[in-house]
Amino acid sequence: EDKVVQSPLSLVVHEGDTVTLNCSYEVTNFRSLLWYKQEKKAPTFLFMLTSSGIEKKSGRLSSILDKKELFSILNITATQTGDSAVYLCAVDNYGQNFVFGPGTRLSVLP
């Protein structure tokens, strides 16, 4: 059965902290792994990862994929209150479907 697991499910930190969010997966035909940030309604696309070991960066956010160990991490450095959100990990099962993880709820306190 295809599945995506995220950990931790929730996390509370203070501004300035660095956080690492984890996503592991088991799917039939992996094509890519996507990270989204969900604040209100529609998730905002962050990264798409297809190759192992290549870090993708956008400002204070970065992500990397390990296709051998079947996981990805999302790092956020120098967190700000505006980073508070649910971070979703999803795996594209080679165009057949998407498998979403449960999300990690991040709360950044001032």
Partner 1 sequence: GAVVSQHPSRVICKSGTSVKIECRSLDFQATTMFWYRQFPKKSLMLMATSNEGSKATYEQGVEKDKFLINHASLTLSTLTVTSAHPEDSSFYICSAAWDTQYFGPGTRLTVL
Contacts with partner 1 by CB under 8 A lie at 34, 36, 38, 41-45, 48, 86, 88, 90, 93, 95-100, 102-103, 105
What stretches of the chain adopt beta strand conformation (E)?
Answer: 3-7, 10-14, 19-26, 32-38, 44-49, 56-58, 61-66, 71-76, 85-92, 98-100, 104-109
Judged by beta carbon, residue 48 or residue 70, the one nearer partner 1 is 48
DSSP three-state, residue 54: coil
Kindly tell me which of 41 and 68 has the beta carbon lying closer to partner 1: 41
CA dihedral angle for residue 93, residue 20, residue 109, residue 39, rounded to 10 degrees: -10
Nearer to partner 1, 29 or 96 (CB): 96
Provide the minimum distance between the beta carbon of 31 and partner 1 in the complex, in angstroms, as a whole number: 11
Nearer to partner 1, 68 or 100 (CB): 100
Least separation in angstroms between residue 78's CB and partner 1 is 25
Q: Provide the minimum distance between the beta carbon of 16 and partner 1 in the complex, in angstroms, as a whole number.
A: 27
* Contact present, 13 and 109 (Cβ < 8 Å): yes
